[in-house]
A = this chain, B = another copy of it.
Amino acid sequence: MTTALTPPAALHNEAVQLDTADPLAPLRTRFLLPPDVVYLDGNSLGPLPAAVPPALEDVLHRQWGTALIGSWNTAGWWEAPLRVGDTIGALIGAAPGQTIAGDSTSVQLFTALDAAATLRPDRPLLVTDPGHFPTDRYLTHAVARRRGLQVHHVSPADLPRFLATEGHRTAVVSYAPVDFRTGELYSMRALTRAAHAAGALALWDLCHAAGALPLDVDALGVDLAVGCGYKFLSGGPGAPAFLYVAHRHHDRLDTPLPGWTGHADPFALARHYTPAPGIARARIGTPPILSLLALEAALTAFDGVDLNQVRAKSLSLTGFFLRCTDELLTPLGFTPVTPADPARRGSQVTLRHPHARGLATALAEHGVIADMRAPDLLRFGVNALYTSHQDLLTAALALRDLTRNAAYDPAPPATGPVT
């Protein structure tokens, strides 16, 4: 595919200019990206931050290997869920003491949904997006089934209208600001307001938003939020998730899994459960310290970084990729499904093509790692901390050439995890 390497001059010049002027470009060295790979799947699994290997070396040999059990105190293991939670809190606009790191997003969602239903005991409806990520939908139904509640599926666009009539029966609305398939960005402000106007709680799944754009859960009055540690936070495969609960709900926060670490006096090993004050009551069991401290090290990639700059660069990247698409890919049958309006765009571009699966595989074989969502969506995630405009032109050109040359399997077997 030697012709692949000759980019249209105008796009090439634009990419070089944008990258040269990029104030965040130096952050790329905070990640150990493999050479000769364009990595556009950081919205599934962020790459390895440079800070993680030395941090884990210390955790293994000094903290675990040498100080042993004492590290629960001396190395700060015990406080890690709260400390890492606060670090994530700073990225989502949460003042300290409201965010906790640990468990998986699914477990945190269960806690959040169940606790929300307890906070609105006389309201029988849980409302969520019909296009929400599966685990959100499954757990909403699971909580509803066991509590005798009902689930209503309402698209974000229809939510205000739905709440106008059913809001008084709605306990919680559970949405994501970024659609994981299309990359469409919804207004957290508008949907949170609509929920509150109805007396309902607003629960946000920030998996595709935390670390990708500025968030302001406190200022928006968000009630609860969850998110994962392994996408834009680059905390490693299956990195612990997080749970945010606004201060005003803490005293009445009744979690469904009262594990011993959430006890007010955990080391007394008391017979009866007394929840800890504050967000600490959302702790469950002993946290996976290696994964949790890897996440903590990964979060140092955000040290000194202005999320408004991250957002500006992310929009520059996705905007540039949409221009590449217009010029190089639309003529070949690709249709962008991510909104062109920057105000409605998360940190990814999704293209529709009937051979999305085969193309994603072929792209990976040519060093461009994106992913797909069945049946026909190709996702290109950008992360302003390490993605360049030239990366995106390389990807667009590779995709153009693979398509033009039909150099891919049009019907490969379905396989592989997507998260």
**Known A105-B285, A139-B259; contact A417-B78, beta-carbon cutoff 8 A:** yes
Contact assessment for A290 and B105 in the assembled complex, using a CB-CB cutoff below 8 Å: no
Does A93 reach chain B (CB closer than 8 Å)?
Answer: no
Contact assessment for B238 and A292 in the assembled complex, using a CB-CB cutoff below 8 Å: yes
Contact assessment for A290 and B287 in the assembled complex, using a CB-CB cutoff below 8 Å: no
Contact assessment for A290 and B236 in the assembled complex, using a CB-CB cutoff below 8 Å: yes
Give this chain's copy count: 2
Q: Mark A258-300, 1 if CB is under 8 A from B, else 0.
A: 1111010011111111000000000011111111101000000
Contact assessment for B69 and A256 in the assembled complex, using a CB-CB cutoff below 8 Å: no
Q: Mark A366-401, 1 if CB is under 8 A from B, else 0.
A: 000101011000000000000000000000000000
A291 to B70, CA, bound (A): 19
Among B64, B70, B258, contact of A236 (Cβ-Cβ < 8 Å): B64
A294 to B65, CA, bound (A): 13
Does A241 reach chain B (CB closer than 8 Å)?
Answer: yes
Contact assessment for B60 and A39 in the assembled complex, using a CB-CB cutoff below 8 Å: no
Contact assessment for B106 and A240 in the assembled complex, using a CB-CB cutoff below 8 Å: no
Among B78, B135, B259, contact of A104 (Cβ-Cβ < 8 Å): B259
Contact assessment for A69 and B139 in the assembled complex, using a CB-CB cutoff below 8 Å: no
Q: Which chain B positions have C-beta within 8 A of A110?
A: 256-257
Q: Which chain B positions have C-beta within 8 A of A419?
A: 72, 286
Number of interface residues of A (CB under 8 A): 87
Contact assessment for A32 and B72 in the assembled complex, using a CB-CB cutoff below 8 Å: no
Among B72, B135, B269, B291, contact of A285 (Cβ-Cβ < 8 Å): B135
Q: Which chain B positions have C-beta within 8 A of A134?
A: 260, 263, 266, 269-271, 273
A66 to B36, CA, bound (A): 11
Does A239 reach chain B (CB closer than 8 Å)?
Answer: yes
Contact assessment for B107 and A257 in the assembled complex, using a CB-CB cutoff below 8 Å: yes
Interface centre among A32, A70, A71, A290 (most CB of B within 10 A): A290
Interface stretch, picked from A42-50, A154-162, A402-410, is A42-50
Among B61, B141, B228, contact of A273 (Cβ-Cβ < 8 Å): B141
Contact assessment for A258 and B138 in the assembled complex, using a CB-CB cutoff below 8 Å: yes
Does A223 reach chain B (CB closer than 8 Å)?
Answer: no
Contact assessment for A52 and B60 in the assembled complex, using a CB-CB cutoff below 8 Å: yes
Interface of chain A residues 215 through 250 with chain B (CB within 8 A): 228, 230, 236-241
Interface of chain A residues 118 through 137 with chain B (CB within 8 A): 130, 133-135, 137
In whole Å, how far is A194's beta carbon from the nearest beta carbon of chain B? 24
Does A204 reach chain B (CB closer than 8 Å)?
Answer: no
Does A68 reach chain B (CB closer than 8 Å)?
Answer: yes
Does A415 reach chain B (CB closer than 8 Å)?
Answer: yes
Q: Which chain B positions have C-beta within 8 A of A418?
A: 267, 269
Return 24 A-B CB contacts under 8 Å, by A number: A34-B68, A41-B68, A41-B69, A45-B64, A45-B68, A56-B56, A73-B417, A77-B417, A104-B288, A130-B271, A134-B271, A134-B273, A137-B271, A138-B258, A139-B257, A146-B147, A230-B286, A238-B286, A239-B288, A266-B417, A267-B418, A288-B291, A288-B292, A290-B290
List 18 additional contacts besides A34-B66, A53-B61; criterion CB under 8 Å.
Answer: A45-B68, A47-B64, A53-B57, A77-B237, A77-B417, A104-B286, A133-B269, A134-B263, A134-B271, A137-B273, A141-B273, A237-B289, A239-B288, A239-B290, A241-B285, A267-B374, A267-B414, A289-B291
